[in-house]
Amino acid sequence: MSLFYLSLHTKFDIKKTDMLTIKQITENTDAVLRGLEKKHFKNAQEVISQVIEANDKRRNSQNQLDKNLAEVNSLSRSVGQLMKEGKKEEAEAARLQVNEIKEKNKELEAAMNEAAAELQNLLYTIPNIPNEGVPEGYGAEDNVVERMGGNHAELPADALPHWELAKKYDLIDFELGVKITGAGFPVYKGKGARLQRALINFFLDEARDAGYLEIEPPYVVNAASGYGTGQLPDKEGQMYHANEDDLYLIPTAEVPVTNIYRDVILEEKELPIKNCAYSACFRREAGSYGKDVRGLNRLHQFNKVEIVRIDKPEHSYESLNEMIAHVENLVQKLELPYRILRLCGGDMSFTSAITFDFEVFSAAQKRWLEVSSVSNFESYQANRLKCRYRSGEKKTELCHTLNGSALALLELLLHY
């Protein structure tokens, strides 16, 4: 793992990339395939070929349908004229031709809708293309350390792990959580609960002072919201789903807050939009087991404050740097030893174009623990959300969306 020590709040020089749209896929296929290869997306060539084929079917059906509709309009006009001229047989022949074309149009509409649905479903399976500044790599070992700060704590030899410390001072009751719900749902008590509340208030107040508007969102969302921000389709089965109502428990406040701007056209002067929100977060963490999931590691429910931005493409990387600086300021105020990682292609989320992770060092567990991910999704989410802004020329363009944890509470508790 390469290591760089940069000066405080050094800005990361990153160039924006193009959005992943049908136009890009069809006109820049090789570039899209290279990007998907960096993210180690399986069967990229096959899926992209299917996308192009489905798009051709949709487009050809649409073109033929447009031609037929134009012919129907022309023939319909001629029927009236022929009737005026007393040419009843010709008028009747034209009317029959109109009916035949309308029947064919029904078939074309069905074919077009089928191809469009196939195309949409295929696009949902394709991850975002990584920014050119994303390093190559397969997993966490290939992430690049960009910056480090803070001092490491020296614990005495008889220091207790957090799960024993929490039990000794009655701060967190893991067994009670199992009784009430199940493993991964701890009950915070007394000073443990007060610490959670104090950290939430601290993070929200810091975000407010930085110009973020606080939002209190729902903790469950509909399927359209899940598709909008890219949590659906949930290929890993990590979301809790209320089947009866077809609602999903949120994995992060990013989902409901970003979806505020679904199907919205913003004015350029409104950007950048800056929102923050506290929420409980729910994740199934399917497949997690072993010593690294003991205590507060890998919970199914935890608390987090999220910051979200909606911005213009040309300014979104300035916003990303500001968000990184904001999170860094938080860990510095908490006097935590930290490092900032630039994630490699194989360790990034499905929707991200570029991600920087913040990790704090747990002296008790002798390992680094993630407390924040700050990501620019560029126009990937906005394309799904149809989140656009109107420029000075009155044209509408896709926004860029960004989000970051500021911060996740459970890893902070693990540090101690």
Q: Binding site residues, as ranges? A: 252, 283-285, 306, 370-373, 403
Residues in Cβ contact with 287 at an 8 Å cutoff, skipping those fewer than 6 apart: none
DSSP string, 319-361: HHHHHHHHHHHHHHHTT--EEEEE--GGGS-SS-SEEEEEEEE
Neighbours of 258 (CB within 10 A): 28
Rounded-to-integer distance, Cα 284 and Cα 279, Å: 16
SS3 300: coil
Rounded-to-integer distance, Cα 296 and Cα 411, Å: 8
- Of 307, 323, 320, 332, nearest in space to 205 by CA: 307
Rounded-to-integer distance, Cα 148 and Cα 117, Å: 47
Q: Which residues pair with 14 in a beta bridge?
A: none
User: What are the phi and psi torsion angles at 303 (to 5°)?
Assistant: -110, 145
Known binding site for ATP: residues?
A: 283-285, 370-373
In a 13 Å sphere around the CA of 320, the CA atoms on its Cβ side amount to 29
Rounded-to-integer distance, Cα 263 and Cα 235, Å: 25
How large is the C-alpha radius of gyration of the chain? 27
Known binding site for L-serine: residues?
A: 252, 283, 306, 403
Residue type, 23: K
